[in-house]
Amino acid sequence: MTRRVLVVDDDFMVLRIHERFVAQTPGFDVVARARTGAEALAEAERTQPDVVLLDVHLPDTSGLEVLRALRDLAPRAVVVMVTAERDAEAVRAALRGGAQQYLVKPFAYDDLAARLAAVAGALDSLGEGETDQGAIDRAFGAAPTAPAPVAPAPPKGLSVESLALVRSALPADGDLSASEVAEEVGLSRVSARRYLEHLVTVGEADVRLRYGAGRPERRYSASP
């Protein structure tokens, strides 16, 4: 079963990263995206998603207000707050509003995948018709696995968001040049090359040389 996801974030680059993360997760598919609260509510009503990844800080309203409105507009949606907001009162408000998960940015792909797996496990445990207490406990108590260790900050001049975007563009099978990665993620070739070389340095990417006419071409792939 493929679960349909609405991704909401005011930052275009972050929105693309979260879309890529969802696309990498088996059983989930992005069906809509939004950068404002108004867009989020309109898309939620139109698409009736199974899961909403929702930022707190939106240009026209608070994501917490959107969360409350989703109860009526998309009652079946499971909401995962995905935000840089760490204030305890905001977390409490998210709990009161019905959010099932709360993930602080920036985060690694494995962190989001764990939350999505927890959501899928909770929903799958209930099945159809009447259920039992064990299944109910699993649905309400399903917790994500321990988050991946927080990666160290990238070197000066490299942003966490762009690094995540470049990382997500690297194929596990096959390889890409810096120019191809740049076109894929919307960076300049020089910038993409800097991010790629950093990933090689920290062991998250592999590089090989392709020989032909002229200078050898550096080709990058995700480390196994």
Q: Are 203 and 224 in contact (CB under 8 A)?
A: no
Scanning the chain, the segments in alpha helix (DSSP H) are 12-23, 37-47, 63-73, 88-97, 109-126, 133-141, 160-169, 178-185, 189-201
For residues 105 and 150, the answer to whether their CB atoms sit within 8 Å is: no
Amino acid at 119: V
pLDDT in tens, the chain (224 residues): 899 999 999 999 899 999 999 998 999 999 999 999 999 999 999 999 999 999 999 999 999 999 999 999 999 999 999 988 888 999 999 999 989 889 988 888 888 999 998 888 877 766 666 766 666 566 565 444 445 555 567 888 898 888 888 988 888 788 999 999 999 888 999 999 999 999 999 888 999 998 888 889 999 999 88
Is there a contact between 181 and 170 (Cβ–Cβ < 8 Å)? Answer: yes
CATH of 160-222, one of 1.10.30.50, 3.40.50.1970, 3.40.50.620, 1.10.10.10: 1.10.10.10
Domain-wise residue ranges, the chain: 3-141, 160-222
pTM for this entry: 0.69
Determine whether domain 3-141 maps to CATH 3.40.50.2300: yes
The sheet carrying 176-177 orders its strands as 176-177, 217-222, 205-210
